[in-house]
Structure 1
Amino acid sequence: MSSQSSYEFYKDNIKELPPLRTIADTLVLDHKIRTVTPAEAYELARKQWDVQETDLEIYPPAAQRLGLPKGAKVLNNVHGKIIGRTAKARRFWHALNDPERRKVSGDLMEAISDLQRRPLIKAHAIIGLDRDLMIKATIVGTEDDAANIFNWLVNFTPYEELAEQYEQSPKLPIQDIIVIADNEWRNNDPFYHNQGFPQLALVDVNANVIFNFGMRYFGERKKGTLTLAWTSGMRLGMAACHGGIKEIDFSGCEDHACKGLGKRSIAFFGLSGTGKSSHTNSSNNGGTMPKGFDKVVLHDDAFQIDIKEKICRVWEPTLFDKTDSRPIGHPDWDYVISVMNHGQIMVDGKNLPVGQDLRNGNGRCLLDRSLLGKYVNRCSFPSTLCWLTKDTTMPPLMRFSDVQLAVAMGASLMTRRNVAENVSEEELKKLVFVPYANPFRVYELWKDVEAFTDVFENGASGYMFNSSGFWKTSAEDVTAIPLQSSLTLQTAILTDQLEWEDWPLLAGAQIPTKESVDKLLPGFYDRYDHRNVDNYEQYLETLRDRINQRREFIENSDLQDKPELLDKLLRSLQTS
């Protein structure tokens, strides 16, 4: 399925063509703006003032796919003080009042006029790799921002690669995506976020248009584009997933019990550092998977669940990963296509990018998906959804016997403020909620709640892994939960090795029985038994406080517009 051009989408009533899309379309159609291929963008990027060419060779199959010369080297795009996304810079057109819209549209037209004074380039890509979910996208930027345009083409799929398949597909009721970018935008109006210089991510989700102004960081282009793709999928009735998913095929296993399990897909949703990639990408769950199994990965960061067709579909052919845990010589460097904000070092006569965040935090790279081993562009409907949390009052593993509790815990997926932050003790106790681990949601929360309710009601089971550690004497003094234990438990879920009992502290939640879990991890049950913690009353008080904070977050959200839905979630969050 393919998306529609502006004329195709709005031709029945051209007056409905939104102003921001018209502004973007007008720029895209400027005949002075030349279209570049990945190879042309790469050559321009090599000459860019903030780009350095390393001696690390681009993953050869990726270089060939992108039309780059044999032996092409990885480019390092190095920024100034801003080396990550700026959420405060986002302005949503649908949320602006009329005076704000008049002001912003005027500023936007002035910004586009200034942008046209400089040499511009554009490129076309296809967002989505499954034949039934493809959206055409166009990006426009300056010649001296070619690195971001090259990286955008790498992150998604250059149009020519899938053009024939795309053009033969039936049309989706979705517009093409347009991305306009200008790193040099300047506007001192306090309406816009200023972090030493102004920044603006102006998003019109209904028109499928985004403007990235004053932003060098590639993640703004990637996540902005992906945000529009996720939202497009939601408009089509699918669930948007900022998570990882893999499909396990047990039919080749030697063990007859495992052989009968067939295929099972398992998905993981978690914020940074919760183990999402570790759970998704692990080759054999730390050696615990049965002999003869087969694994394919859809993606470790972004996909869409088509609830009606019972299928999951991928958006991107690459991975956009941090490199803080990848030292020089790590095998993952073999799959690198591009890097951002890396220091460089001379090793045996070669100028190499160095990970481990030595120059700055949040060093990033684009990796070919081949790193994951076998991968696919669609996989089966998830049998299991796993929320990954860092709540130290929660057991290492819970299963939800109540669908509404599963949905509520996903809608209030939490993290905590860091002790390094300059905040009070009271602030440190407060949780920060990112529903379904997706900070890029631009539509109402109730739409996600409805979508994930549908996923669970259509057969998925819900679980929660705690990757932070479990209360020992306090919320900070914890009993560690090793990754190996969590991977062992993941395998146990996939292979039906666990039996379950109600967890008495949260209605609708269950934990593995002592007999079943101790067979796999001796001593596990007693080690993480809430009855064995020190300062038990303080533990209960903290647990109740965190559940109440979840209730308050949900109660104060836009779920107020859906009172029946809200009531179901609030009633599910009950502590003893």
Structure 2
Amino acid sequence: MSSIQKLTNSQMSKHNNKFSDFRAIIESNFYGNNVHQVNSVEEAYNLAVKTSGTIITDIPVFNYEALDLPKNSKVLVNNNGSVVGRTSAARKIIGQPNVDNKELAKILREAMYLGGLKKYYSSEVIVGLDESFMLKAHIMLPKNFESTLYSYMLNFQFLNKDFQNRYTNSNKFSENELYIYGDPEWTHPDYPFGLVIFDPQHNVAAILGLRYFGEFKKATLTLAWGVAHRNGFISCHGGMKQYRFKDSAYTMAAFGLSGSGKSTITLANHNDKYDMVVLHDDAFVISKENGMTTALEPSYFDKTQDYPMGSEAIKYYLTCQNVGVTLDEFGNKILVTEDIRNGNGRTVKSRFSTPNRVDHLKEKIDAVYWIMKDESLPPMIKINDPVLAAVFGATLATKRSSAENIVVDDDANDLVIEPFANPFRSYPLKEDYSDFINLFISQKTDCYILNTGYFNGKKVTPLDTLTSIEKVVEGQAAFRPFGTIESISYLPFEGHLPDFDDPIYANKLKQSMKNRLAFILKMNVENNGYNALPVEAEQKMREIISKLN
């Protein structure tokens, strides 16, 4: 999607809706004489290796030529201090209720002034890997954070000659290019946990007082998903893969928060028993017109907890954040992973880790899988009503992980509801709800729920989950009625069978549905009903509860 960077004099007017005070404040700083434009990944790498605190390991970057990196490039490590996850409490979205635009604009102007006193680096990347959806994003970070800039250019698609040509020829929409400003050293007494300001209608964001790389990645996706939503796409925080057979294909999307099993499901190779391709494990968009899907990023921002040194996965690491380093028997600097140092160790991992990777799928989606950690649900259930399928997506029940920096008095083990597994939405919830109903109806897309947590006190293993998916893919899944609820069925799985005559289980299931209803009712009033769902959502959940009495 070619977006707008340059305007004519006649277009530069306060009446042009492409302008706002926040866009003017943020974009202006990109043109300061304190800003150096970084024009290649090689230049970013050379800056990063000279940054104070960067650890240059002895692990070579695999296929460095294809990444436009210099020969003998090594995996770089940078650690961020006490905070090793995303701080959702820092996010402020302009245009939403209870957000003081004037006060935030004042704070931002002061932050930009202070930023102008420091040396900065900027660069450009592409978000979206097919001509049907491409955006240009500009990033700006101060000196001493060159490693963050380098990781950013690797995580998204750096603007080489090939992608410059593709971007020029991509679909054109009337949208501003994205501008993301960062100052990890910023402090303010009223914002001890940092501040992230989004103006999604004008495609700008400022990330202040936060060092964690995931803030910059997800801020960019927040803006890109907003653009997609306004231009005929469904914005998806999930993974997508396609199973290919001789005369058919099965395309599935799995939606879940970090730590839910989303990447495990998406990237699993099923012991090579299928011909498969992977779109991405985190971010993509679906065309509402034809059901085609496009990945937004070439690389993966993966957890390192499951990959000790010696694992094949480490071959594809590019940079690491919040991991340890030690010496091997030969004196080489190697990684200490598996979250030994701290939780949520991360890596930017290259696309070459999935040799069956694609960036665009033309076939429609056959099934959506909501990934939950709801102990009242068996490992897999099927929702046969498109409205109820969207209601369950809007009330997706899961648990937080170490990927999040929780600053309020919440227990990380508490069950929480995160609609459509997307905490990065910048528009009303009902709009995603409507989009998914239309997807289920117009594309005849099936809907399943995967419980990857515990069921009746027993852990649902990754093997359980993948075996269930395989049965669906192969057309061997024999679902049974889910008690008295006609629109739901479950896949029998040894050791995980629901007993509807057990009053303890029946009460647990009923309470789970009541929690969903309570969330729907809460959305009706919270923030002046900004995220209220249509009345049919409440009605559907009340119908389910009535059948459990």
**Structures share a fold, TM > 0.5?**
yes
> What letter corresponds to residue 359 of structure 1 in structure 2?
R
* CA gap 1:14/1:221 in 2 versus in 1, 3 angstroms: same
Say whether 1:433 aligns with 2:417: yes
1:273 aligns with 2:256: no
Matched residues in 1 for 2:417 and 2:104: separation?
A: 30
Aligned to 2:444: 459
Aligned match of 1:549: 515
Within 5 A, what are the aligned runs for 1:117-516? 117-161=117-161, 162-188=163-189, 190=190, 192=191, 194-195=192-193, 199-251=194-246, 260=247, 262-284=248-270, 286=271, 289=273, 293-347=274-328, 348-379=330-361, 380-416=363-399, 431-457=415-441, 458-471=443-456, 478-512=457-491
Measure the CA separation in 2 of the matches of 1:185 and 1:413: 35
Query: How far apart are the structure 1 equivalents of 2:283 and 2:370?
Result: 15
Q: For 2:412 and 2:196, locate their aligned partners in 1 and report how far apart those are by CA, in whole Å.
A: 29
Number of the residue aligned with 2:506:
540
Is 113-122 or 27-36 further displaced after alignment?
27-36
Conserved 8 A contact 1:44-1:144: no
Mapped to 2, the partners of 1:218 and 1:429 lie a distance apart of: 24
Q: In the alignment, what sits opposite 1:49?
A: 52
* Residues 1:529 and 2:497 aligned together: yes
Residue type of the alignment partner of 1:401: N
Contact 2:61 2:318 in 1 (8 A): yes
CA distance in 2, matches of 1:562, 1:468: 27
The aligned runs of 1:24-39 (5 Å cut-off) are 24-36=26-38, 37-39=40-42
Using a 3 Å threshold, how does the CA distance of structure 1 residues 84 and 435 change in structure 2: closer, same or farther? same
Contact 1:404 1:568 in 2 (8 A): no
Instruction: Report the more deviating stretch, 42-51 or 327-336.
Output: 42-51
- Counterpart secondary structure, 2:499: helix
Measured after TM superposition, the shift of residue 504 of structure 1 is 1.2
Relative to structure 1, is the Cα distance of residues 331 and 563 closer, same or farther in structure 2, using a 3 angstrom cutoff?
A: closer
Give yes or no for contact 1:408–1:572 (8 Å, CA) kept in 2: no
**Superimposed CA distance per residue, residues 127-174 of structure 1 (whole angstroms, 9 cap, x where no aligned partner):** 111111000110111121111111111010112240011112342122
Give 1:101's aligned residue.
101
Runs of at least 5 residues in structure 1 that lack an aligned partner in the other structure: 252-259, 472-477, 518-523
Equivalent position SS for 2:289:
coil
Cα separation, 2, equivalents of 1:451 and 1:130: 21
Q: In structure 2, what residue type is equivalent to 1:182?
A: D
Task: Tell me the number of residue pairs that the alignment of Structure 1 and Structure 2 aligns.
Answer: 531
Which one-letter code corresponds to 1:537 in the other structure? P
**Structure 1 residue 452, shift from structure 2 partner:** 0.9
Instruction: Identify which range, 497-506 or 228-237, moves more after superposition.
Output: 497-506
- Distance in 1 separating the partners of 2:325 and 2:538: 54
Task: Confirm or deny: 8 A CA contact 1:338 1:365 kept in the other structure.
Answer: yes
Give the superposition deviation at 1:331. 0.4
In 2, the alpha carbon distance for the partners of 1:140 and 1:306 equals: 30
Deviation at 1:75, TM superposition (A): 0.9
**Structure 2: 5+ residue stretches without partners:** 524-528
SS of the aligned residue for 2:366 comes to: strand
Measure, in 2, the Cα distance between the counterparts of 1:74 and 1:217. Answer: 18
1:516-565 deviation digits (Å, cap 9, x = unpaired): x6xxxxxx35x3332288xx212211211110010110222147755444
Counterpart contact for 2:429–2:532, Cα < 8 Å: no
What amino acid sits opposite 2:177 in the alignment? D
- 2:429/2:533 contact within 8 Å kept: no
Report the Cα distance in structure 2 between the residues aligned to 1:377 and 1:542, rounded to whole angstroms: 42
* Contact 1:306/1:312 (<8 A) preserved: yes
Letter in 1 for 2:371: L
Q: Does 1:67 align with 2:71?
A: no
Deviations 1:239-289 (A, max 9, x none): 1111111011101xxxxxxxx4x01101111223332122111112x56x4
Shift of 1:486: 2.0
Equivalent in the alignment of 1:474: none
Report the CA distance between 1:306 and its aligned residue: 0.8
Secondary structure at the aligned position of 2:175 is classed as strand
Q: Which amino acid aligns with 1:25?
A: E
Comparing 559-568 and 114-123, the one that deviates more: 559-568
In 2, distance between residues paired with 1:453 and 1:88? 30
- Residue 67 of structure 1, CA deviation: 2.8
Q: Distance in 1 between matches of 2:519 and 2:131?
A: 38
- The alpha-carbon deviation at position 329 of structure 1 amounts to 0.6
Question: Does structure 2 conserve the Cα–Cα contact (< 8 Å) formed by 1:408 and 1:573?
Answer: no
TM-score normalised by length of structure 2: 0.91
The Cα RMSD (Å) is: 2.5
